[in-house]
Copies of this chain bind each other. A is one copy, B any other.
Amino acid sequence: MPCHVALIGVGLVGKQVVHQLSSPALSPLFRIVSLSNSKHTVSIEPSSSTLPADDLLALLPASSAALPSSSSHPGASYSSANPEQVVKDLAHAAKHSKTSTILIDCTSDLSVTQLYPLAISSGLSVVTPNKKGFSSSNELWQQILEAQNAPGAGLVYLEATVGAGLPIISTLRDLLKTGDEVTKVEGVLSGTFSYIFNEFSRPGVKGGPKFSEVVKIAKANGYTEPHPADDLSGSDVARKLTILSRLISANPSSLPALPSFPEGYASLPTQSLIPKALEGLASGTEFVEKLPEHDEEFDTLRAEAEKEGKVLRYVGVIDRMAGIAKCGLEKYPAAHPFASSLSGADNILAFHSHRYSKSPLIVQGAGAGADVTAMGVVADAIKVAERTGVRVHL
C-alpha cells in the first residue's frame, strides 16, 4: 500500500517534490492526498485516479486566486488553508485507514513547524527542508524529540535542512548511531558565503576584487537573498549549525557537552558581516549601494590572511572538545580543502571523529537549489516508505 503524502508549501521545492514523487519508479510508493499553499488546500481522494505531476499541481489554485467551488477532477475538494486542520485530518485518516502518512513541509514558516509535535505524536512522519522547527527555541526542539516517544508516533526526517541533497544528516547519524565520537564538525554551509569568499579570497592570489563588488555580482546572479544582509548576518549558517549541534547532543557521548541553545540559532555565537553603519537598512538596493564605504575593513581582513598564506572562509564550527559551536570568518591555508577545492557556491562539510581522526570525512557539492533540496526530501520519504515494508531494491 502506498504511503499517503500531504504537502504544505508548493513553491519551487514543493513542485520539484511533487515531480520526483510522481516519477514512474516512485509513484507506486506514494500517493499525494493533499497540497496546500498559503491560501488554499486541495484534498485528493486516495481512491481517485492517479494524476501526473503537472495535472496534480494544476488542481491547486494560485495563492492569489479565489477558492474554486468545484474542480475538473472528481476526487479533489477544496478548503481554505489551515495547516493545523490539515494535520488533524491527516491524523484522523491515517488512524482510520492504518496507512503510513507523511507530512512534507516545504514552507519556511515557523508556525507550520509548531505543528510537528502534534503531527508526530498523532502517527504522521514529518519530512522537511524547513530549518525553523529544529533551529528555533530549544523548547520546540525538545517537544519534537519527545513527540516521537508517543505510542504509535511517527518520526521526523530532516536531511534537506542542511546541505539540501548532500548526505550530511545521514552521515552524521551513521557516525553517531554506530558509536563513533564526533569531535569536530566544520564547514562552509552557505552557498552565498561560499560564492562570496571563493571570489573574494583566492588561494595564491594577492589582493582581489572589492568585497562590495563581489556581493553586488552575487546579488545580480541570484546567489543572495533580495536583501544581502539576510545572508551576511550569518543566521542561515547559525540555523544549520544549531541543527547539527542538537543532533550530536541528542546522542550519548563521553565528550564535553555542547550548549543547549535555549533560543536556538539566536543563542549561537555568530559573527555578522553586516557593517555596523548598515544594520537595519530596509532596502537591499541601498545596502549594496552603501557597501563600498566599508570595503577597507574587508581588505584589511584579506591582507591579514594573505600574510599568513591563508584565505578567508565563512564557516560554522562545532568543536566538541572545547564544547563550543560558532559561526564566523576563519583563515585556512591554501592547501586546505576549504581553500583549494571549493568553487562556485558549493557547500563543504568536514566530520572529524575518533574513527576519522587522521583526516576528516568530507562531503561537498551544491547545497541549495530546488531540485537537490527536493532530492533530500524525497530520499527521506523513501526511508519512511521502507520502514513500512516497501521494498526498494538496489
Contact = CB atoms under 8 A, between A and B. Distances in A.
A155 B393 contact: yes
Interface size class of A (residues with CB under 8 A): 35 or more
Nearest to A158: B394
B26 A179 contact: yes
Interface stretch (A269-277, A306-314, A378-386): A378-386
B394 A145 contact: yes
A340 B340 contact: yes
Given A340-B335, A355-B165, A386-B387, A365 B361 contact: yes
A178 interface: yes
A214 B365 CA distance: 32
Contacts of A177: 25-26, 379, 382, 392
B391 A389 contact: no
A356 interface: yes
Interface string A118-162: 000000000000000000000000000100100000011010000
Contacts of A387: 386-387, 389
Contacts of A252: 24-25
Interface of A: 20, 23-26, 145, 148, 155-156, 158, 165-167, 170-171, 173-175, 177-180, 247, 250-252, 335-337, 340-341, 343-344, 346, 351, 355-356, 358-366, 369, 371-372, 374-375, 378-379, 382-383, 386-387, 389, 391-394
